[in-house]
Amino acid sequence: MQYSGTLRKMRVSTDAEHVAHYELPVGDNSVAMNPLIGKSVSVAHTGNIYCTHCQRKTKKSFNQGYCYPCVISLAQCDTCIIKPEKCHYHEGTCREPEWGEENCFSDHFVYLANTGNLKVGITRHVTDGISSRWIDQGASQATVMLRVPDRLTSGKVEQLCTQYIGDKTNWRTMLKGQPEQQDLIALKHQMLEKLTDDLAQITADKGIQAVTTVDDVSHEIGYPVDEYPVKIKSINLDKTPEFSGVLTGIKGQYWMLDGDRVINIRKYAGYEVDFSAD
C-alpha cells in the first residue's frame, strides 16, 4: 500500500460502540487507518508544503496548514476562532462577513470533556450525540452542557467556565493512557449552579433562548490503541522528514508508534509525503 500527496487532518467517525474510526487523506486518496494498527507504516516528507486553502506552495505552514497570506486574510484564521469571545462581527470588522454569517451564527454547544483532565469546550456539530471535536481532542468522555445561538455567546459562556476549569487539552496526559472515569453529569450540574447568575445576565441581555440547557447524556468514546507510550517522544517532520515503525494506536489526531514515538498528524496538514503501509 503506497500513496503520495499532501496530508490533511484525519477524518473521524464512530461505530455503534462509539469507538473512533480514522481515515487519513493523502492527496486524492483516503486511507482507513484502524486496520493498520499493529502494522508497519512509513512516511517520507518530500520537502514541499502547500496551503490547504489556496494550494499555494509555501516554505512554512501556519495554523496547521495555511500559508501566511491566508492566515492574515481568512476569517477562519482570525484570532476570534481560537478565542470566540472576541468575535467582532457586530463591529463590522469581520474579515469575511459571508463566512461569518454561515459559520458563526448557528447553534453552538458548550461541553465538558474528559481528556485526561476535565475541560470545557465549544463545538458546532454533534452527530448522533458525538462531536468530531471530542475525538480530535482525544476525549474519553463528554457531555453537552448548554446550547447557544451563536459563536460569540458560546465564547462568553466558555470564558465563564474557565474560572473553574481549563479549556485546553494536555496532549501528553491524553496520550499516556485511559483516564480515570469522571461523573460528568454531576460536574455539569455543579458548573451550572456556579454559573446561575452569569447565565441569567446573558439571557436578560440576549433573550430567553440565548442559553438552553441540554438533556443529561454522558458519552464514552473508545480509541484504537494496542499500546500507550510510556515516555513520549514527539516526531517533528521538519527535523525528521522520514520515519517508519509499527503503528500501536491512534488517539485524538495523534499516531502512536513503537519506541514511545508519537506524531500529531493535524500539525502537518499541507505537507507533501509518500506514505506506505504493510
- pLDDT single digits (tens) 261-270: 999 999 999 9
How many structural domains are present in the chain? 2
17 occurs within a structural domain: yes
- Give the Cα separation of 137 and 114 in Å (integer): 10
User: What sections of the chain are H helices per DSSP?
Assistant: 68-71, 79-82, 97-104, 132-136, 151-161, 171-175, 184-194, 196-206
- Give the Cα separation of 160 and 140 in Å (integer): 24
Q: Find how far residue 87's CA is from the centre of its chain.
A: 20
144 and 41 in a single domain? The answer is: no
Give the global pTM: 0.94
Cross-sheet strand order for the sheet of 261-264: 2-6, 271-277, 40-49, 242-251, 254-257, 261-264, 233-234
pLDDT digits (tens, 9 = 90+) for 170-180: 999 999 999 99
Q: Residue 127: its pLDDT value, please?
A: 66
Pairing status of strand 261-264 against strand 233-234: parallel
- Give the domain range for residue 145: 106-220
72 occurs within a structural domain: no
Closest CA to 221 of 108, 127, 122: 127
- Give the Cα separation of 209 and 212 in Å (integer): 6
